[in-house]
A = this chain, B = another copy of it.
Amino acid sequence: MRQKIAVIGGVASGPAAAAQAQRTNPDADVVLFEKGPDISYGACELPYFLSGQIPCADTLVVLTPQAFEQTRGARVRTEHEVLGIHPKRCRLDVKECRTGRITEERFDKFILAIGARARLPDIQGCEAPNVFVVRQLDEARRLKRAFDDVRHAVILGGGYVGIEVAESLRTLGKRVTLLEPHGLPLHSYLDKQHQRIVADELKKHGVTVRRERAVGVETDASGTARAVRTDHGELVGCQAVIAAIGTVPETTLATRAHISIGATGAVAVDAHMRTSLPNVWACGDCIEVQRVIDGKAVYRPLSPSAFRTARVAGTNAARRGRGPRARFPGVVGASAVKVFDLEAASVGLQYNEARACNFDAFTVRLSGTSRVSFYPGAQPLHIALTVERTTGRLLGASLVGQEGAVWRANVLVACIYDRKSVADIKDLDLIYAPPFGPSIDPVIAAARAATKQLGRPTP
């Protein structure tokens, strides 16, 4: 009998999993369900759609449902919401959104790729029509349509999305206030001193950063948000509020099916992307993944691992015992953001997180230049390495600079996978040519400085 595979969720990991399942078993009947109208689009690029740098939302759509069916072979049902899965009975409940009609269909295997949603602050007034989040294509489209009426926007949260949207709005000449209760942006990603550099860059480009928490949204008679009330008792008047306080995995469907949820609040899976139920796999932004540094399950809803876990889930759901079982090796946890003229990159564990995870860690900071200091265009580059004292192993890094921060972070990603010590990293044969980097790269210099610290008693 023809194997039937249901993939639930159509944004990024869903289409990747469906395509991979179809490739793995060309005879299978793979169906991709998506409750919205679009599939296969890039959510990470939405801030650049807002700013107009990516002029048309349609370019974010990698494949239309039609193109997907033609090129990938799997079937697509948009505007179909899956309400429940019953793997034991090989059944799935699906609602056709336009008609509301609910039907039951037979499937052998299920892949959950239901993604995540933007977290909304638990404060009054958030239901106002000019309180926005930037997660889905239609949400971004709605925000962009509202721009004409916006002179001043308040952004809640100084993480990646908050910073990217702040830059987009400043590009369009809007006034922007960013409320970050921790005071400094990117506080869980970067070294403390690097957070200050990012804060200065935001300030330099006209973003007002305030160490305040939103406690309410004030609305006018028509229900429109007019100001944000903060925990300092201040009112910040605005024509739009954008909440960028994080991401919550979608788990309703999993919970309903009695699939285990991990300590992070996301769907728990093993390295083969199996959930706690037989014949159910999961991938993308709804799952937690293993961090290679310490084996801990973490929630890191980022695009590269979404695609990678999707391929693993797709392969394993469709392989029917043939061919090698696919395995996901885990994540280092690396990310980066452009902050106006600055690159900021984060790899692995920063000092505070390392200590919280019981590592005997120390941090070495160094400032160098992106290229040979006297070559035109050379810029300061700041690097902080967090190192395990007992082994010298690199646990994490923070890098900030006008150029050259992200690529150096990527080199360190490769090093962390291999549990490299700073003593090894200092000897890496990195390329030298004047236009690209100094003869002794800041990465090498920082690893050298860290190596010197090793073996010294804790100060």
Task: Give A contacts to B, CB under 8 Å.
Answer: 42, 44-45, 48, 53-54, 59-60, 160, 292, 302-305, 307-308, 328-329, 331-338, 343, 345, 372, 374-376, 406-411, 413-415, 417-418, 420, 424, 427-437, 439-441, 444
- Copies of this chain, count: 2
CA distance A374 to B53 in the complex (A): 9
| 13 A–B contacts, CB within 8 A, in A order | A44-B434, A54-B375, A54-B376, A292-B429, A303-B432, A328-B427, A329-B427, A333-B429, A407-B407, A411-B413, A414-B418, A414-B428, A418-B420
**Contact A53 to B376, CB < 8 A, known contacts A45-B434, A411-B414:** yes
Given A417-B429, A429-B305, A432-B302, decide whether A411 and B409 contact each other with a Cβ distance below 8 A. no
* CA A413 to CA B414, docked complex, whole Å: 9
* Cross-interface CB contact of A433 among B59, B337, B374, B411, cutoff 8 Å: B337
Beyond A375-B54, A376-B53, whether A304 also contacts B45 by CB under 8 A is no
Asked whether A415 lies within 8 Å of B414 as measured between CB atoms, the reply is yes
Interface contact A439-B304, CB-CB below 8 Å: yes
- List, in ascending order, chain B residues with CB within 8 A of A304's CB: 429-432, 439-441, 444
Inter-chain contact A439/B376, CB cutoff 8 Å: no
Contacts A307-B440, A374-B59; A413 near B429 (Cβ below 8 A)? yes
The CA-CA distance from A334 to B53 in the complex, in Å, is 35
Task: List residues of chain B with CB within 8 A of the CB of A375.
Answer: 45, 48, 53-54
Are A44 and B406 in contact, with the CB atoms below 8 A? no
Q: A44-B439, A303-B439, A374-B59 are in contact. Are A431 and B413 (CB under 8 A)?
A: yes
Closest chain B residue to A348, Cβ basis = B429
Cα–Cα distance between A25 and B444 once the two chains are bound (Å):
23
Given contacts A407-B408, A410-B431, list 18 more A-B pairs with CB under 8 A: A45-B374, A48-B434, A54-B375, A302-B432, A304-B441, A307-B439, A335-B433, A336-B431, A337-B433, A338-B436, A406-B431, A406-B436, A410-B411, A411-B414, A413-B428, A414-B418, A417-B429, A418-B420
Contact residues in B for A54 (Cβ distance below 8 Å): 374-376
A407 CB contacts on chain B under 8 angstroms: 406-408, 410-411
Residue with the greatest number of chain B CB neighbours at <10 A, chosen from A160, A333, A372: A372
Measured in the bound complex, the distance between the Cα atoms of B435 and A187 in whole Å is: 21
Complex contacts, A307 vs chain B, CB 8 Å: 439-440
The interface residues of chain B lying within 8 Å CB-to-CB of A417 are 424, 428-429
Q: Which B-chain residue is minimally distant from A374 (CB atoms)?
A: B59
Q: Which 7 residue pairs are nearest across A and B when measured between Cβ atoms?
A: A407-B407, A414-B414, A338-B435, A418-B418, A59-B374, A332-B429, A406-B436
Q: Which residues of B contact A329 (CB under 8 A)?
A: 424, 427
Residues A338 and B431 in contact, CB atoms below 8 Å apart: no
**Min C-beta distance of A414 to chain B, whole Å:** 4
A273 CA / B440 CA spacing, docked (Å): 20
CA distance A407 to B405 in the complex (A): 10
Q: Give the distance to chain B from A185, nearest Cβ to Cβ, in Å.
A: 15
Q: CA A304 – CA B434 in complex, angstroms?
A: 12
Give complex CA distance A332, B335 in Å: 27
Complex Cα gap A329–B423 (Å):
11
Please give me the residue from chain B that is nearest to A448 by CB atom: B311
Q: List B contacts of A441 (CB < 8 A).
A: 304
Residues in B whose Cβ lies below 8 Å from that of A60: 374
The residue in chain B whose Cβ has the minimal distance to the Cβ of A305 is B429
Q: How far is B431's CA from A292's CA once the two chains are assembled, in angstroms?
A: 15
A433 touches B338 (CB 8 A): yes
Cβ contacts under 8 Å, A429 to chain B: 292, 304-305, 331-334, 413, 417
A42 to B436, alpha carbons, bound, how many Å? 15
Q: In whole Å, how far is A110's beta carbon from the nearest beta carbon of chain B? A: 24
Among candidates B42, B53, B328, B413, residue contacting A430 with C-beta atoms closer than 8 Å? B413
Q: Which residue of B is nearest A345, CB measured?
A: B431
Question: Separation in Å of the A16 CB from the closest CB of chain B?
Answer: 9
CA distance A356 to B332 in the complex (A): 37
Most central of A42, A308, A337, A374 by chain B CB within 10 Å: A374
